[in-house]
A = this chain, B = another copy of it.
Amino acid sequence: MKTYLDCIPCFFDQALRAGRIATDDEKLLKRILDELGVMLSHISLESTPPEIGRLVYRKVREITKNPDPFRELKRESTQQALALYPSLKRTIEESHDSLLAAIRIAIAGNVIDFGPSGSFDIDTAIKEALEKDFAICDYSAFKNYLVKSERILYIGDNAGETVFDRLLIEQMKKPVVYVVRETPVINDAIAEDAIQAGLDKVATIISSGTDAPGTIPSICGREFIHLLGESEFVLAKGQGNYEGLSNENRPIFFLLKTKCRIIADDIGVTEGDIVLKGMNV
């Protein structure tokens, strides 16, 4: 997905929010916004949002000298999600379609996001994801790919959401390679977050090789690119992965809740909708 003009004010909002988590020094925060303004004036909208987001969050880390402002928030999100794990597991197992229930739960976890809006309520999100109609639901195709594929490449998104992904992985009953970001960006999951969520017990964890808050193949690591090329079944969570992969010419399932109007428009749904979209399937 290309970057829209509306993404630009949002990058300033995101930089300010992330900056405030990293520091309370107003001068440093002003400097972040100043340097961002100059930097964005040199960037084309042909870049995808996570390509630009990567530079935005690098700028925040560089100026605040805080390499991982969201570390504590990520640990808390994962702990909160782990506390919910037993009851969510029961909900899924007691459902008449456990796989679909697990998909819904995995979407609920996608609200744990400090990027585009910065506020969420996980209990409301779970309730909503279990009841709400999908705006797009390519569930039959999803099941077909699940049956015929030997392995799933599951591209994760945020820390905490990882626990919800684990519940879906446990229902898919196939070998899974779970992809995290290489180094910290916003509250996106890196390897240590996935391990805290227990994903190492149910999947092989690898890194995308980048600090972009999304998956942009041109800047990903070789191991990930190799796996992406040979994987029959790719499942990508969240907006950032959609933004980076929506122009790929290969089958991918996107699983997300739309949290901004621009991405919702790009997908052809409404902000707040839940989506299981099979692209090129």
Interface residues of A, Cβ cutoff 8 Å to B: 5-6, 8-10, 12-13, 16, 26, 29-30, 33-41, 45
Q: Is the CB of A16 within 8 A of B8?
A: yes
Main secondary structure of the interface of A (DSSP, over half): helix
Q: Which residues of B contact A40 (CB under 8 A)?
A: 33-34, 37
Q: Which residues of B contact A34 (CB under 8 A)?
A: 40-41
Q: Which residues of B contact A16 (CB under 8 A)?
A: 5-6, 8-9
Q: Is the CB of A9 within 8 A of B12?
A: yes
CB distance from A4 to the nearest CB of B (A): 9
In the bound complex, CA of A45 to CA of B33 (Å)? 12
Q: Is the CB of A41 within 8 A of B45?
A: no
Contact of A12 among B12, B26, B30, B38 (CB under 8 A): B12
Q: Which residues of B contact A38 (CB under 8 A)?
A: 37-38, 41
In the bound complex, CA of A39 to CA of B41 (Å)? 11
The 4 nearest A-B residue pairs measured at CB: A37-B37, A34-B41, A9-B12, A9-B13
In the bound complex, CA of A39 to CA of B38 (Å)? 9
In the bound complex, CA of A26 to CA of B5 (Å)? 8
In the bound complex, CA of A34 to CA of B5 (Å)? 11
**Given A36-B37, A38-B38, A41-B37, residue A29 in contact with residue B9 (CB < 8 A):** no
